[in-house]
Amino acid sequence: MAERSESVPLRQSFIFDRNLEVQSMSNRGPNLERNILVFAVWAVLGFLGLGIFLEGMARDLWSLSALGIALIVAAFIAHIVINGIFNTGFTPGETALGIGAYGFLGLVFVLGVASDGMTIADFYSGLTLFGVLAAGFLAYLLTRHGLRNAFSQFHIKPASEREAAK
């Protein structure tokens, strides 16, 4: 077995390397902590809400579906609070996931209504879900960006107008 030629004992080098690892993880900053918090919130409240919502649809109970929707709204509010604590907004990936999920669920809802395989409780549950999510999205835009700037989040100005504004 070859001997170590370095002056640092094995145990101290391990501690030194471990400290470097801890230091490099702390350089990632609050985004890592924010991401973990957002994941935890959606893993608990979001999936629990989705499960209760689907159980309400399976049992044809609008009230149970509404409870699931309330938990999903609580997860959305918690996500906004976390963004406020860390002074950030939604990441592009979170925005794409939210809009994509909303569009996919909307498509499934429309196909369910068109196939005539939906009970009245399921229909009202779907309308409640999409109405509450749309109202929550608009409320977020208005409170985050104000009434005047909310439209600017979607309106892309031509390059000539952007240069003239500078």
Report the percentage of the chain scoring pLDDT > 90. 55
Helical packing angle, 62-85 and 47-59, nearest 10° = 170
pLDDT class of 6 with cuts at 50, 70, 90 = low
DSSP string, 53-66: HHHHHHHT-HHHHH
Rounded Cα gap, residues 69 and 57, in angstroms:
12
Residue 137 lies in a domain: yes
What are the pLDDT digits (tens) for 69-87? 999 999 999 999 999 999 9
**What confidence category does residue 155 fall into, taking pLDDT thresholds of 50, 70 and 90?**
low
**Euclidean distance between CA atoms 75 and 134, whole angstroms:** 15
1 in a structural domain: no
Whether 91 is covered by a domain: the verdict is yes
The number of folded domains in the chain is: 1
pLDDT tens-digit profile of 33-42? Answer: 999 999 999 9
Domain that holds residue 91: 11-157
User: 148: which 2 tokens?
Assistant: 């005047």
Residue 6 located in a structural domain: no
Domain-embedded: residue 166: no
